[in-house]
Amino acid sequence: MTTYEAAYRQSIAEPEVFWAEQAKQLTWFTFPSAILSTDENGFYRWYKGGKLNTSYLALDYHIEQGRGGQPALIYDSPVTGVQKTYTYAELRDEAARVAGGLRKLGVEKGDRVIIYMPMIPEAVFSMLACARIGAIHSVVFGGFAARELAIRIDDAQPKVLLTASGGIEINKHIPYKPLVDEALAQAEHRIERCVVYARPGIEAVLQPDIDLDWAEWLADAEPAGYVPVDATDPLYILYTSGTTGKPKGIVRDNGGHAVALKYSMNHVYDTHVGEVFWAASDVGWVVGHSYIVYGPLINGCTTILYEGKPVKTPDPGAFWRVIADHKVKTLFTAPTAIRAIKKEDPDGHYADKYDLSHFHRLYLAGERCDAATYEWAKALLGDRDVIDNWWQTESGWPMLAQMPAYGMIPVKPGSAGRPVCGFDVQILDGANQPLGANQEGAVCIRLPLPPSCLPTLWNNDDRFRAGYLAPYPGYYFSGDGGYRDEEGYVFITGRMDDVINVAGHRLSTADMEEVVARHPAVAECAVIGIQDNLKGQVPVGFVVLKEGIALSDEQLEKDLIQMVRDQVGAVASFKRATIVHRLPKTRSGKILRRVMRAIADGQEYTMPSTIEDPVVLSEIEQRMKDEQIGEAFE
């Protein structure tokens, strides 16, 4: 067996040789003429000249191999009581029919389609349908508010929007159509058609000039075949929060994406043809793209689409029930989910009720996994592996992890492991120089990035250069800080900007600050992310009122919670805001958010030499203590 050290060395020293071999694991219509090249902007591109189709690789290929009757997608919805299994042949037919419906609306290769749907099979059909005809999909998480959807509509400029009448949050119906209507009214870009899937019990009022009923739309749709696309053609755009308040459109290409996901399914997640893989995430996030839809299907696995929660649907045994019912081998979820289960079932009694004999490994990612959560899961699951891994929307697959295909290494709680093959991870100081063991700095990846990583941002090459390449020349800047120990394990310590991770969802505090600042009583504000035992991080607002305004903390907090919920979405979990007299700043006027976070989290910090008035920090600390804001004061 090839060792990790040998495979990793080759992937860094001979990337073209390494990734050419991995490309051969796929069926191409035309094999690439260049494994690695640069485009007219000087950006690295993988597999130029290659032609393939991602929907073909995920569906038709397996049917051709005689696996058409194998379960491809299992829809498990405890909130509706529905379970349904689609074979590879059935999933191909559904995707082909939706692709035909899109064709009927004039959607062709290169056109954009926004998908704003809950966790229902039609969301998966829609993604695969776009890939089938070379259209570029942009899935928007169903929990986002109208304003966030409108921003994405204006940036992607889609021809068609696919949605559903609503989603279900445990036992509460969330109508989507009013949000879509409001977003379309706010957006400058005019879409041509909006197709609405009617869910039982959730009504939607259709507008005759733009809206179509899903069932009627597909009634006479001719199934569409797959269209060969270039490896460098975009498969999708996925928006991730940025510090400017405007989301960044991460571009994912077809060729590198397919190669990397197949490689990762086998070498990182150790899940193979015919085995059951479950990513307990949402199709609106990158985990859902990579490991609910594309990765498992390209690799010939059975994937789970779960419309539920780790608790309350109906109890903290929900995950164990799904694993037992569907013989899941591998579960991928966020540490938040495990913390929620631990909170409601601290002794793990619910796991004892189910047959988990098929279950081999638990993978955790999406946020930092604290040692307590890891140790609880490990104690509960016994001999089964519990594996942390670290990656981003920008990479599309893990950058740090275990690689079981090359042999397991000891786990170090708090570390996401060692670099995955292809990722030359370095810890750099401010002068662009590598740091030694146990020295904290910026986590960067030496260029070129391996396949599947973003080649640029949608219609914004300048922002791609400025945000990812310029800060550390010759490297990709991840935005995270961290350090490497003597054995090569990397520890991620947190973001170096104003993006926070709420229950695995990456959100911008700058975006929330924009909303808070619109309150008529607010003169100045800061929103910071502080540690939370359940969600990892949660946002808290600190607000300075305008002169002459008398407003209670309670009323202000109520107003701001509703404003953020309406304009960012409930997913932001903005539930705390407090009035302060002043905000701590440098002499140049920069708010000391990082120091405020350190105070709330009970961490040591150095008083900046450029601070305008040190007394303000003491006032903020006392306010946090009075209001019991942060781990340090709870």
Residue 200: asked if its preceding bond is cis (omega within 30°), the reply is: no
Residue 228 tokens read as: 């060969």
Residue 557 shares a structural domain with residue 421? no
The per-residue pLDDT for 145 is 87
The per-residue pLDDT for 243 is 54
Going by C-beta distance under 8 Å and a sequence separation of 6 or more, which residues neighbour residue 209? none
In a domain, residue 632? The reply is no
Residue 302 domain boundaries: 4-308+389-478
In a domain, residue 401? The reply is yes
Residue 165 shares a structural domain with residue 270? yes
Residue 52 shares a structural domain with residue 91? yes
Residue 529 shares a structural domain with residue 427? no
Look at the chain and report how many structural domains it folds into.
2
Residue 462 shares a structural domain with residue 510? no
Residue 454 shares a structural domain with residue 510? no
Look at residue 243 and give its three-state secondary structure: coil
Output the domain CATH number for residue 513: 3.30.300.30
Residue 525 shares a structural domain with residue 466? no
Q: How confident is the model at residue 308 (pLDDT cuts 50, 70, 90)?
A: very high
Residue 130 shares a structural domain with residue 235? yes
Last residue of a domain, one of 418, 445, 478: 478
The per-residue pLDDT for 205 is 94
Look at residue 614 and give its three-state secondary structure: helix
Q: How confident is the model at residue 609 (pLDDT cuts 50, 70, 90)?
A: low
In a domain, residue 369? The reply is no
* Alpha-carbon gap, residue 588 to 610, rounded angstroms: 8
Helical H segments across 315-455, by residue range? 318-326, 335-344, 371-381
The per-residue pLDDT for 339 is 83
Spatial contact of 340 and 311, defined as CB atoms under 8 Å apart? yes
3-state helix/strand/coil string of 36-51: EEECCCCCEEEEECCE
Residue 509 shares a structural domain with residue 467? no
Instruction: Provide the pairing of β-strand 475-484 with 490-495.
Output: antiparallel
In a domain, residue 493? The reply is no
* Alpha-carbon gap, residue 515 to 527, rounded angstroms: 10
Residue 209 shares a structural domain with residue 249? yes
Output the domain CATH number for residue 63: 3.40.50.12780
Last residue of a domain, one of 448, 478, 508: 478
What are 420-454's pLDDT values in tens digits? 999 999 999 989 999 999 988 899 999 999 999 99
What are 199-210's pLDDT values in tens digits? 999 999 999 999
What are 460-498's pLDDT values in tens digits? 999 999 999 999 999 999 998 888 999 999 998 777 766
Last residue of a domain, one of 446, 478, 510: 478
Look at residue 107 and give its three-state secondary structure: coil
- Please state the rounded mean pLDDT for residues 367-380: 85
Going by C-beta distance under 8 Å and a sequence separation of 6 or more, which residues neighbour residue 257? 54, 235, 294, 396, 451, 452
Residue 256 shares a structural domain with residue 218? yes
DSSP-assigned beta bridge partners for residue 96: none
Residue 152 shares a structural domain with residue 239? yes
pTM equals 0.85
* Alpha-carbon gap, residue 281 to 506, rounded angstroms: 13
Dihedral angle, C-alpha 339, 492, 416, 568, nearest 10 °: 50
In a domain, residue 330? The reply is no
